[in-house]
Every structure is written in C-alpha cells, then in structure tokens.
C-alpha cells in the first residue's frame, strides 16, 4: 500500500475494533477482601548503601602510619564495623565506620606532620658540607 493512498474509515474500523470499556465504569463498587481475585502485596525496602568500614585504609595506617597507635585503633574499629555490618546492625556499623574514618584521618595527618619536617631537616642536613 502506498503512503499516499486514501483509506476509508470502514477499513480502519474493521482493522481496529472498538474496545470494551465495561471495566471502567464508575458505578463499580469496591470489593471486600476475600471476595475478588487474590492479590499479593510485596513490600520492597528502599535501597540503602551499605556502611563503609575503611578496612584497607586502616590496615595501611596500622602498617605504615601508626602514630601513637591510632592506626591500630582505626583497625579495631574497622573490624567492629565489618562485624556489625555482617550481623545486620547497620546503625552500629555506620558509627564504628565513622570512628575508624576519623582515627585514620588523625593517624595519617599526625604522621605526615611528623615525617615531613623530619625529612626536610634530613634533606637539608645532607646538603650542607
């Protein structure tokens, strides 16, 4: 069929029969539970990101940046956060993870504040004759 040919309404109506709109009447009453077809309700909880435990960062800080054992303490809290996450206590896991993050930041910052001046003094001391 060419796109420029005219089609009669009878051909269109025979191709697409009218729909039965009986299910859309406003007079239909609500059915009480148990009388109509069975339905299943599935509640889907909203997705929430799992809490972070900062375990790898804590291991790194324990091995290389362990100023005043802050890296080790961060590792302890990271393990606690991981344990709570496995058990399903997400609130406690977030709390322990946040503490581990703060300890990791403190350990890294204090170690760098200690090492950088020492390296500068060492570097300048080696250059002097």
The string of pLDDT tens digits covering residues 51-89 is: 999 999 999 999 998 989 999 999 999 999 999 999 999
The string of pLDDT tens digits covering residues 3-33 is: 567 766 666 666 666 666 555 555 555 556 6
Indicate the helix (H) or strand (E) that contains 8: none
Q: Are 51 and 97 in contact (CB under 8 A)?
A: yes
Please give the Cα distance from 74 to 62 (Å, whole number). Answer: 8
- Higher pLDDT: 106 or 123? It is 106
- Higher pLDDT: 107 or 14? It is 107
Residue 97: closest CA among 65, 46, 63, 49: 49
Q: What is the pTM of this model?
A: 0.61
Provide the pLDDT for residue 38: 65
């Amino acid at each position: 069929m060419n796109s420029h040919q005219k089609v009669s309404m009878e051909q269109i109506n025979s191709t697409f029969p009218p729909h039965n709109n009986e299910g859309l009447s406003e007079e239909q009453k609500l059915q009480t539970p148990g009388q109509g077809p069975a339905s299943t309700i599935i509640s889907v909880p909203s997705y929430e990101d799992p809490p972070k435990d900062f375990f790898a960062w804590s291991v790194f800080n324990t091995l290389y940046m362990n100023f005043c054992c802050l890296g080790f303490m961060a590792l302890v809290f990271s393990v606690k956060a991981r344990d709570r996450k496995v058990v399903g206590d997400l609130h406690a896991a977030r709390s322990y993870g946040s503490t581990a993050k703060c300890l990791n930041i403190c350990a890294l910052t204090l170690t760098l504040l200690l090492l950088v001046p020492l390296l500068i003094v060492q570097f300048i001391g080696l250059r002097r004759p």
